[in-house]
Chains A and B, each alone.
Chain A
Amino acid sequence: MSNAELIAEAGKIVDVAGKDAPLTVRGLTVSYGNKPAVFSIDASIPAGSMTAIIGPNGAGKSTFLKGTLGVVPRLSGEVRIFGKPFAEARDRVAYVPQRASVDWDFPARVIDVVLMGLYKSVGLFRFWRSRHREQAMECLERVGMADFSTRQIGQLSGGQQQRVFLARALAQNAEFYLLDEPFAGVDAATERAIVAVLKDLKAEGRTVVCVHHDLSTVAEYFDRVLLINVRRIAEGPVDTTFTAANLQETYGGRLATTHIDELRLA
Chain B
Amino acid sequence: MDDLITALGAEFVQLSLTPIVIGILAAVACALPGNFLLLRRQALIGDAISHVVLPGIVGAFLVTGAIDAFPMMIGAGCAAIVAVILIEIIKRLGRVEPGAAMGLVFTTLFAVGVLFLEITDTSSVHIDVQHALLGNLESLIWFDADGWQSLLDPAALATLPPQLPRLALVLLGIVLFIALFWKELKISTFDAAFADAIGIHTRLLGFALVVATAIAAVAAFDAVGSIIVIAMFVCPPAAARLMTNQLSRQISWSVAFAVISAILGYVFAGYGPGWFGSPYAVSAAGMIATISGLILLLTCMFGPQRKRIGQGAEA
Contact = CB atoms under 8 A, between A and B. Distances in A.
A40 interface: no
Interface in A89-107: 90-91, 93, 95, 97, 101-107
Contacts of B183: 116, 119, 122, 127-128
Interface string A123-140: 001011000000000000
B72 to A, nearest CB: 33
Contacts of B309: 152, 154-155
Interface string A109-153: 100110010011010010110000000000000000000000010
Given A107-B39, A119-B187, A90 B311 contact: no
A66 interface: yes
Contacts of A106: 39, 189-190, 247
A240 interface: no
Interface residues of B, number: 30
A222 B19 CA distance: 67
A13 interface: no
B246 A109 contact: yes
Contact of A116 (B180, B186, B245, B312): B186
B198 A104 contact: no
A94 to B, nearest CB: 8
Contact of B199 (A90, A107, A152): A90
A157 interface: yes
Interface string A75-93: 0000000000001001101
A44 B281 CA distance: 74
Contacts of A107: 39, 241, 244-247, 249-250
A247 interface: no
A161 B311 contact: yes
Interface string B111-137: 000000000000000000000000000
B310 A155 contact: yes
A156 interface: yes
Contacts of B189: 106
Contacts of A152: 245, 309-310
Interface in B297-314: 308-313
Nearest to A109: B246
Interface in B7-26: none
A170 B249 CA distance: 27
Contact of A69 (B196, B200, B250, B310): B196
B4 interface: no
B207 to A, nearest CB: 17
Which of B189, B194, B244 has the largest count of A CB atoms less than 10 A from its CB?
B194
A152 B309 CA distance: 9
Which of A109, A119, A120, A125 has the largest count of B CB atoms less than 10 A from its CB?
A119
Contacts of A27: none
A113 B190 contact: yes
Contacts of B182: 127
A255 interface: no
A70 interface: yes
Contacts of A95: 193-194, 197-198
A172 B191 contact: no
B237 to A, nearest CB: 11
B315 interface: yes
B247 A103 contact: no
Tell me whether chain B's interface is mostly helix, strand or loop, or mixed: helix
A48 interface: no
A263 B223 CA distance: 71
A125 B183 CA distance: 8
A120 B308 contact: no
Contact of A97 (B194, B244, B313): B194
Given A154-B308, A155-B310, A108 B199 contact: no
Contact of A154 (B197, B199, B312): B312
A7 interface: no
B206 to A, nearest CB: 15
Contacts of B246: 107-109, 112
A111 B265 CA distance: 39
B191 A102 contact: yes
B241 A104 contact: no
A71 interface: yes
Nearest to B247: A107
Interface in B244-276: 244-247, 249-250
A70 B196 CA distance: 8
A158 interface: yes
Contact of B193 (A97, A109, A112, A168): A97
Contacts of A103: 39, 190, 312, 315
22 contacts: A69-B196, A70-B196, A91-B199, A97-B191, A103-B39, A103-B190, A105-B308, A106-B190, A107-B241, A107-B244, A107-B247, A107-B250, A108-B247, A112-B247, A116-B186, A116-B194, A119-B200, A120-B199, A127-B182, A154-B310, A156-B310, A172-B198
- Which 9 A-B pairs rank lowest in CB-CB distance, beginning with the nearest? A154-B312, A105-B312, A95-B197, A155-B310, A152-B245, A97-B193, A102-B191, A116-B187, A90-B199
Given A107-B39, A119-B200, A154-B312, 6 more contacts: A71-B196, A95-B198, A103-B190, A106-B247, A108-B247, A127-B183
